[in-house]
Structure 1
Amino acid sequence: MSTIVNTPTSNQRVSLTTGSVISADGTTIGYHQLGHGPALIMLHGANTSGLDFTQLAEPLADLFTVYLPDRRGRGLSGLFSKNYSIQEEVADLTALVNKTGARLLYGVSAGGMICLLASLSLPGIQKLALYEPALLMDGTAHTSWLPRFDQEMAEGKVAAALVTSMKGLELGGPVMNAMPNWLLEALTNATMKGEDKKAGPDAITMRKLAPTLHYDGLLLAEMSGQLDRFRAMNAEVLLLGGSKGLPFLKPSLAALEQILPHVAGRIEFPGLEHGGSNNPSQTNRGSKPELVAQELRQFFTRA
């Protein structure tokens, strides 16, 4: 099946095909793909979907067949299980690697964490690029928002829950922390309503993605303090981040640079935030996926 996607900041229309793979527990994992050449899988982070990488994938599509999977609970993919853990995500990625023969991975935030762990048991992975993988030295301070988030979601207070997660993860920095919750909730509600009005029936909106933040919070907690296990990594790894990225992930990047046996380099993009490689959008205006794509192109083609 083929689909046409409009890129958010231009009139360019990207032709994508869709496919799916069945994970170990029988769950369907859907993906979009574009391009020709060796397989490259890009795994998104929290509150996004595979389609958020279209502008990152386009400059690479002349050299690679780029796969943009939707992680569980999102878009083309099936639901989370009752016994959800990171091993479920690893199994999903493993199924896609086995189908495509991919030897190249790119992951952002939670997607980067999943790529790292999956690569330990996938000897065929040769190169791995990570943009601010969501690994915590100590997860207590950045997972304590989960109970309040869950309660607000249970009460149908989606905007309040999103504000709770954003503050808990320091996504807005000091400015957001200084703003009263009622104002942030009003702004978030307005953004969601505006998005809902423009969205088609299959669009993956903020409102649809909100419940998935619970599961990304669980991953943060589960993998906190687990960096030492990556000393056994065989793949060559490129570490990426933005100068305005999440401060609490920078210590983990520095630790990975020391722990990983085969580090190809560490690059910090001036002015980019945590979502710097995602498509620009109303809530991610400062991203520059074309800059990240240049580095990925060099890394993945270098012998």
Structure 2
Amino acid sequence: MSSVDVTTVGRGPGLVVLPGATRRARHYGAMATALSEMYTVHVVERRGRGRSPAQDSSYCLDAEISDALEVLTETGSKQIFGHSYGGLIALHVALRTDLDRVIAYEPGVSIGNTMPRSWMPRYEQLLAEGKDARAMVHFLHTCEFMPGGALVTAMVWAMQRFAAEGRATRELLPTVVRELHEIYALDSDGSRYGAITAPVLLLGGGRSPAYIKQMLPLLVDVIPNAKLVVTPEFDHNAPDLGHPAAVADLIRA
């Protein structure tokens, strides 16, 4: 049995799905269902979530890569999909093993410091002070995923305390620190991804932050067998919240 919890649905060739930051396996249920007639979809509950191992002081990207490799081997899957931080893991898995295909939706890759980092000290300070709602708004606002302001902070505060989904997200806020530090540590000119031999489908949204849209063409230029598809109406959360069925269509195409 794999070290991490895995949710499986469907029939056909195996496809392993790696969630993004602050995301759980269940957030990809609609996408997995849409893919289930063509693939056996194995959605990984990444570290720090549910029954999977915690992200302890020794946490690093290698642990996530090892987990994904374990699931690929155990299920016999040869394809992998990763969203955001999960996309970064998927690309590094492809550097370690032969795959039939990699699909990455706006992977958490920093090329030439494209990924913003000035927000992190304030985020860590707010978490240490127990100001979870302000920390979450600070993260989402400074990384251009949502507007800021007192009203938004109040809404997030209420969501975190009175809505089940908000409380679940609140529990994952410390994992953002560990995962983003891994992204920053891997900042480079992107040339390491030139060693990926599998076909790679890079997906993105026209409504996503500018730094993500800046990174994707840089990445597709260094991966030998890569294709980039940007859908104008998608944002960063298209696979899990906005357009899961449409993202599934792109994966099946």
Provide the residue aligned with 1:164 in structure 2: 138
What is the alpha-carbon distance in structure 2 between the residues aligned to residue 92 and residue 204 of structure 1?
Answer: 26
SS at match of 1:212: helix
Note the residue ranges of structure 1 that are not aligned, 5 or more in a row. Answer: 1-19, 23-28, 281-286, 299-303
- Which string of whole-angstrom CA distances, capped at 9 and with x for unpartnered residues, describes residues 149-189 of structure 1? 122112211101111211231212xxx2xx43x33321210
Give the number of the structure whose alpha-carbon radius of gyration is greater: 1
1:40 aligns with 2:15: yes
State the SS of the aligned residue for 2:163. helix
Structure 1 equivalent of residue 50 of structure 2: 75
- SS of equivalent residue, structure 2 residue 93: helix
Alpha-carbon distance change, 204 to 233 in structure 1, aligned in 2, over 3 angstroms: farther
SS in structure 1 at match of 2:197:
coil
Q: CA deviation at 1:106?
A: 0.6
What's the secondary structure of 1:266's corresponding residue? Answer: strand
The correspondence for 2:157, drawn from 164, 172, 189, is: 189
CA–CA separation in structure 2 for the residues paired with 1:30 and 1:186: 34
Residue 37 of structure 2 aligns with an amino acid whose one-letter code is D
1:272 matched to 2:253? The reply is no
Structure with bigger RCO (C-alpha 8 Å, 6+ apart): 2
Instruction: For residues 70-107 of structure 1, give each alpha carbon's deviation from its aligned partner in whole angstroms, at most 9, with x where no partner exists.
Output: 11001231101312221121111111112112100111
**Structure 2: distance between partners of 1:119 and 1:169:** 27
Contact 1:231–1:260 at 8 Å: present in 2 too? yes
Work out whether 1:251 is the aligned partner of 2:251: no
Contact 1:137/1:251 (CA < 8 Å) preserved in 2?
no
Give the TM-score, by structure 1 length: 0.79
Structure 1 residues 121 and 204: CA distance shift in structure 2, 3 A: farther
- After superposition, the Cα gap between the structure-2 partners of 1:204 and 1:261, relative to the gap in structure 1 and judged at 3 Å, is farther
Cα distance in 2 between the residues matched to 1:229 and 1:238: 17
Using a 3 Å threshold, how does the CA distance of structure 1 residues 113 and 217 change in structure 2: closer, same or farther? same
Query: Which residue matches 2:116?
Result: 142
User: Residue 284 of structure 1 aligns with which residue?
Assistant: none
Which whole-Å CA distance do the structure 2 matches of 1:209 and 1:87 have between them? Answer: 19
SS at match of 2:48: coil
Please name the residue that 1:120 is paired with.
95
Alignment-derived partner of residue 106 in structure 2: 132
Residues 93 and 141 of structure 1, relative CA distance in 2, 3 Å threshold: closer
Identity %: 28
Query: How much has 1:216 moved relative to structure 2?
Result: 2.1
Corresponding residue number in structure 2 for 1:11 = none
| One-letter amino acid matched to 1:132 | E
Structure-2 residue corresponding to 1:14: none
* Partners of 1:144 and 1:267 in 2: CA distance: 29
**Which residue number corresponds to residue 73 of structure 2?**
98
Matched, 1:222 2:185: yes
Contact 1:42 1:69 (8 Å CA) reproduced:
yes
User: By how many angstroms is 1:140 displaced?
Assistant: 7.7
1:86–1:219 Cα contact (<8 Å) kept: yes
Cα shift at 1:46: 0.8
Task: Tell me the amino acid that sits aligned with residue 266 of structure 1.
Answer: L
TM-score (norm 2): 0.94
**What CA RMSD, in Å, does the superposition of the two structures yield over aligned residues?**
1.8
**Distance in 1 between residues matched to 2:176 and 2:182, nearest whole Å:** 10
1:270, distance to aligned residue in structure 2 (A) = 2.1
The residue identity in structure 1 corresponding to 2:144 is E
Q: 1:122 to 1:204 in 2, by over 3 A?
A: farther
- Aligned pair count? 253
Following TM superposition, the consecutive aligned residue runs of length 4 or more in structure 1 with deviations greater than 6 angstroms are none
User: Which one-letter code corresponds to 1:64 in the other structure?
Assistant: Y
One-letter amino acid matched to 1:41? V
1:213-265 alpha-carbon deviations (Å, 9 max, x no partner)? 112221221222251101111100111111101211122210122111112x2
Deviations 1:96-146 (A, max 9, x none): 1121121001111110011001111112x1101111111122338612222
